[in-house]
Amino acid sequence: MVVAPANEHDLSVLQSILPRLHGGPPCGPQGGLLVGDKIYQDGAVQRHLEQEQNLQLVTPVRPGRGRKVTLMEQVLSERVSRLRQPIEALFAWLQHKTGIDQASRVRSTKGLMVHLFGKLAAAFHLLKPNP
């Protein structure tokens, strides 16, 4: 688990945890798959993940200035979005049910961990069926 300040760029956080990511044994010819948002599009990061950690990074396509997205790029973006949707829905549910993002009174790393894991425990309790 990585906790970073809100003002730190997502790509910087990804670069800081690159050594901890790995695809493990190949899951077919491509190895592992890392699904991300458009913000993670970076050639150097993608090459490093593929060559050093056996991971393929897939993101929706971000068109350049004055360039339209091709039909194949649009299909890829839709497929990536379908993969990301359940994860985004889970995070939205966690935020709605527990207020996990409301940590403004937390003043230490230990306090933040207590806040996060307490909210996650509350979420798991909500999922428990009533007898």
Q: Read off the pLDDT of residues 27-77 as tens digits, 9 standing for 90 and up.
A: 555 578 888 888 888 888 888 888 888 888 888 888 878 888 899 999 999
Q: Give me the pLDDT at residue 2, please.
A: 72
DSSP conformational letter for 33: E
Q: Which percentage of the chain shows pLDDT scores above 70? A: 92
